[in-house]
Amino acid sequence: MKKLTLFIVSDSIGETADLVAKAAASQFRQELKTVSMKRFSHVEEESQLEEIVFLAKRQDAIIIYTLVKSDMRKKIKEECAINTIQCIDLMGPIVDKIGTVLNEEPLEEPGLVRQLDDDYFRKIEAIEFAVKYDDGRDPRGVLKADIVLVGISRTSKTPLSQYLAHKRYKVANVPLVPEVDPPEELYMIDPNKCFGLVISPGKLNSIRRERLLTLGLKDDASYAKVARIEDEISHFKKVVSKIGCTIIDVTNRAVEETANVILSEISNRYK
C-alpha cells in the first residue's frame, strides 16, 4: 500500500490549505491509512522554505501552499523544481486573477482574512447572546432576539442556537413543558422570527433513552416514555399555534439542515 505525505505550508496558520487537502484526500477510500499531513505555519523566510523542501524531498512529500507574497511563492516553486518535488499553489492563481480583473496590486499581507473587524465582533456578540438566553433562562431575551426557537426537550435547540449564532444571528431558545406556562414574551414577538421544532415520538424516545443511559440512569423513566413525549408534543402544538410560528420537523435533519431551512425562510420573507 503506497503511503503519501502532504506538507501544508502557509504564511498564516494554514487552515485553508489544510481543509482543502483533507477534502481532496477524503475522496480516496484508504486516505486515513495512507495519507498523512504536516502543517508548517507562519512561514515568512525563504530559508524556511529551503528547509521544508529539503524535508519534503527526503519524505517524498507533496507540498501544498498558501503564501500571499509573490516572492515567497516564486521561491518555493523554484526550490521544488530544483528538487523535483511536486507542489500545488492554492493562493497564487486566485490572487493573480482577482488582481487582473480589479487592475489592482494585492497587499500581500498574511492573515488579513482573520483580522478583527465588525463582522467578527457581531459573531462574538451573537454567540454570547445565545449562551445568555439559552434554554429559557431569561425570557427577556425573546424580545431582543433575531430568531426564537421553541420546542420540547432534546429537539436540538441549543446546538441550533449556537450554529445560527456563528452566522451572526442573535438566537434565544425556550423549552416547552406541559407543567410550566410559557413566558408571555413568546406571545409578544413577531411570529415570523419564531420557529417551532418538532420531532417524531419514536425518534425522541430513542434519543431520550440514550440520554438517560449516558447519565447513568435507567432508560424507563417517564421522561423517555412515548406517552409522556406525546403529551409534550400536544402541548407544543397548542403553544406554537397560539404564537403562529413556523414549525420545522427535525426528525431526520442535521443541525445544519435545520439552520438552512430557517435562514431560507427568513431570506424569502424579507426579499
- Binding-site residue numbers for ADP are 151-158
Give the count of alpha carbons within 13 A of 25, CB side only.
21
- What is the full DSSP assignment across 212-241? HHHTT--TTSGGG-HHHHHHHHHHHHHHHH
Q: Can you say how many angstroms the Cα of residue 79 is from the centroid of all Cα atoms in its chain? A: 37
Give 209-212 contacts, CB < 8 A, sequence gap 24+. Answer: 211/154
Asked if residues 5 and 62 have their Cβ atoms less than 8 Å apart, the reply is yes
CA distance 257 to 237: 22
3-state SS class at 249:
strand
* Binding site per annotation, positions: 151-158
What is d(CA 159, CA 254) in angstroms, rounded to the nearest whole number?
Answer: 10
